[in-house]
Structure 1
Amino acid sequence: MARQMWALVLLTLVAGCGGPTAEPVVPSSGTPETSTSAAPSTSPSLAPSSTSTPDAGERVAVPVYYVAETPAGFRLQREFHSVVTSDPASAAVREMLAGPTGADPDYRTYWPPGSALREPVHREGGAIVVDLGGVGPTRMGTELAEVTVQQLVFTVQGALQSTDPVRLLVDGAPAHDLWGAVDLTAPVGRGDPYAVRSLVQIDSPADGARVGREVEVRGEAAVFEATVLWEVLRDGELVQKGVASTAEGQRFAPFAFTVTLEPGEYTLRIREDDPSGGEGRPVLSDDKRITVA
């Protein structure tokens, strides 16, 4: 029953993540599956927490955004991390800064090594205040710097279910800019999600998950005519392919499909349809490696 409840929780959370609105609170009842589960499962899987000593509190799933390098430039991708905390926003920021990648190695964080949250995330004067230390000089272009700051904005806003702008402090003090590229003289608002986020996203199973033969794939996409194209590959060879539909076209909306696979290692891949026939921007995609047991 706990697994069924958590599956419903994650589906509800994903359904509320579209567009400029923030992620809703995840009820704490039940224990989420993680990609490190020893037994096969078709329940939605969450990326394991990388926080070594979680805060006291309840188990929740927090959205953590990362930067992916796509054919269309840098875009944000999202993972849900299972953490035990009484402060989801601070926990989400710590998860974001914990390593060079998320559970998916294609999802990266470009914050300099040693970047850390100095004080708990809090609200003040209509803004969300995030105080970071260790964000010294780093070599990155303006585009990547802006997306990296948006990574933080989307993460804390998602954890707090808020669209309030983010005031970023550096070592406890206001900063004029970050890395000479991003203006910090005013709180930073959320960028246009259709320009900042990848338009296709697999939320479950997590990359590296061990699953049963009936593989339930869930995610979110903002795609033409609500059409998500999917395929399953094994050793680079196509095994199955199909089409899934989102709840609404051209807006971030959830989708789900189930595929039956023999035991083995596979890559799940989704992509958007291309009505331009190659004349428009490059097609966006997302993939996850899974083991079917």
Structure 2
Amino acid sequence: MAVPAMFAVLFLTGCIANGEGAPATSGPPSLTVQDAPASNAPLETTQASTKIPVYWIGRSKEEVYLYREFRDISGDGNPVTTALRIMMAQKPLDHDFFTPWQEPASLATSISGKNVITVDISRDAFNSNLDAGMAQRAIQQLVYTATAAASSSGLINSGQQIQVVILVDGHKDYMAFGQVQLGQPMARDASLVAPLWIIDPQEDTSLPAGAVKFNGRSTDGSKPVNWQILQDTGKGEKASLLTGQVKATGEPGQYGVFTFSATLKPGKYELRVSQADDAGKTIEATTDTRLFSVG
């Protein structure tokens, strides 16, 4: 996988056992604003962990979606503030993802008793030139990250509607990226989250040789997941090594989780996963990829 620039990400390609470069210089892709109403997309569950969920933006074929990674944290800081700072000031682990946010001079968060998260951020965080579609995704990236961090940390009740109010230097009605008016409560827009993504392994992870376990999540548990493992030949090419299909499990209306294993020898690999249609054919626009090594 080549490394994309901040606003130019690679098209992801994908493909069932038979046996989610140099930086570019172009501007952000032109995107349309989704007409789908905001919905209360399923939240992350509470977990006792030193990792925190952070959302990024990535492209899959012609679509641009939100993807999640788990990042290591230390200390007892506010998990929502910590996650948002990572989202704005750091780079994603996966080279196919990016963030249009800039590191803010000031950032504070609070949570009301009515499950409303207030994020107060300085205007320098918006110093990127985005079209309306990308600006909408950037705001939802913040909404998803804030709600995920609060839910996974047990700070809010994940069974209730959760909203986020974004203030800029303490004020409402700021036009984020010159495109999206802020200040009103906002919920997760389920239409913008990626249909499928890989949870483990994370990008560039090194794993012991032998049985390697893979897992991920899908927004539609009724669709099977096609997977493919490619091995780096050492000649600048990747050869298909294993393919398979697995069923995602989960309650109706909730995200499904899929898991499978493969026995691998030392080497460098790429995992590709995609949702499959009723005929078992790969739905290319749902593909996520992950680079990892086995040693």
Report the TM-score, using the length of structure 1 for normalisation. Answer: 0.74
4+ runs deviating over 4 angstroms: none
Paired letter, 2:94? D
Name the CA distance, whole Å, in 2 between partners of 1:276 and 1:96.
38
1:65-144 correspondence runs (5 A): 65-86=55-76, 87-99=78-90, 101-111=91-101, 113-115=102-104, 117-119=106-108, 121-124=109-112, 126=114, 127-133=116-122, 134-144=124-134
**TM-superposed deviation, 1:277:** 8.9
Give CA-to-partner distance per residue, 1:81-136, whole Å, 9 cap, x none. 1212432111111111122x31101111111x3335522x1024742111112224
Note closer, same or farther for the CA distance 1:90–1:288 as it changes in structure 2 (3 Å cut). Answer: same
Give CA-to-partner distance per residue, 1:140-191, whole Å, 9 cap, x none. 1111100111001011101111542111111232233212211214122211
CA RMSD of the aligned region, Å? 2.4
- Partner SS, residue 67 of structure 1: strand
Q: Which residue of 1 aligns with 2:208?
A: 212
- Partner SS, residue 118 of structure 2: strand
Name the CA distance, whole Å, in 1 between partners of 2:53 and 2:174.
28
1:26 aligns with 2:47: yes
Q: Which residue of 1 aligns with 2:243?
A: 241
Name the CA distance, whole Å, in 2 between partners of 1:202 and 1:237.
20
Higher RCO (CA < 8 A, seq sep 6+) = 2
Note closer, same or farther for the CA distance 1:147–1:276 as it changes in structure 2 (3 Å cut). Answer: farther
1:262 aligns with 2:265: yes
Give CA-to-partner distance per residue, 1:18-63, whole Å, 9 cap, x none. x8232122214xxxxxxxxxxxxxxxxxxxxxxxxxxxxxxx2211
**TM-superposed deviation, 1:72:** 3.7
Name the CA distance, whole Å, in 1 between partners of 2:121 and 2:279.
43
1:219–1:255 contact (8 Å) kept in structure 2: yes
Runs (5+) with no aligned partner, structure 1 = 1-18, 29-59
Report the TM-score, using the length of structure 2 for normalisation. Answer: 0.74
Q: Which residue of 2 aligns with 1:200?
A: 196
Name the CA distance, whole Å, in 1 between partners of 2:283 and 2:217.
20
- Partner SS, residue 125 of structure 2: coil
Count, aligned residues: 238
